[in-house]
Structures are given as C-alpha cells and as structure tokens.
Structure 1
C-alpha cells in the first residue's frame, strides 16, 4: 500500500465522544472532489469522496440542522 501525504488544505474535527476519533475534510481540486476521512488515533479508517455538488448538499444539511438546534420553543423549521 502506498503512503500518500495529506493535502495542505484541510481541516480536522474532533469527535465529541473522545479524543481518539476525528474527521478530516480536505479539498482535492486536481480531482474535483472533497474527501471526508474518518480517523482513529493516527490511522485513517475510512474515506468518502464527494463531488462539489454533493459537498454543497452536505453543507446545506448541516446548516439546516444547526438552524433547527437554535429554534425557540414553538418555532418550526422550514424545509
């Protein structure tokens, strides 16, 4: 198995459950995709490649979820 260096642009997100798990998000412009990789300590345990269109959908889902968590009681989310 070849070792591939991580691209310079990316961001790490720690798992809320513990410090051993993390999610890395990295853009690969040369391949036209964004990669979400799941890490346990220093080992990558899985990846998902998203097209820019799917990445935009993911961003929308996350934004909608965040908006729903900040609603006041009695307020409903719009779809």
Structure 2
C-alpha cells in the first residue's frame, strides 16, 4: 500500500457524475514537485497519478482546449442537424384511394 499523506491545503475535490460516493481529488505537493490526481470511492483511494510539476502547464492547456473544443463541437453539431421528413407530394398521399 502507498504512503498516506494528509490532504494538502492546495487542491480540490470533484464529484463524479455517476455518484456512488465517487470523487476525484487534485492535490499539489510542492515539496515533491508533483500534482496528484486520485480517484476515490467513499473513503478508499482506488487509483492515483503523480503528474510532474513541469507537465502541469500542458495539462492545463489540454483542459482549456477541451472546454473550447467541446463548445465548438456542440455549436457545429447544431449547425449540421437536418430535419428529415417524407417528401411532400402534390395531391396528398402516395397511398391508393379507397373505393
């Protein structure tokens, strides 16, 4: 099992959209030169990733681009939505008239 360290003052906790007591913690550890992203279910850490401080600007940029790319994709998708319907025929239906 990994080393347990107290939650630093710099960081945040995010709730998973699926609920079920799932959270993601992001913490800064300047003495180690890392930012730690950890995935929790209730009070149990299920996974963690230690990001080097030098990679933090690249992660921040990737997150910003995702946000803007997502907004652009939503707008682009809305522009591409076409309503499909049966072609209109003069005189009404293609069904034979009943006698």
- Superposed displacement of residue 35, structure 1: 0.5
Corresponding residue SS for 1:69? helix
* Count of matched residue positions in the alignment of Structure 1 and Structure 2: 75
TM-score (ref. length: structure 2): 0.66
- Which consecutive unaligned segments of at least 5 residues does structure 2 have? 80-99
Partner of 2:55: 54
TM-score (ref. length: structure 1): 0.80
Greater strand share, 1 or 2? 1
Q: Which has the higher contact order (CA 8 A, sep 6+)?
A: 1
Corresponding residue SS for 2:45? strand
- Which consecutive unaligned segments of at least 5 residues does structure 1 have? none
- Superposed displacement of residue 33, structure 1: 0.8
Partner of 1:7: 8
Greater helix share, 1 or 2? 2
Supply the RMSD in Å over aligned alpha carbons. Answer: 2.0
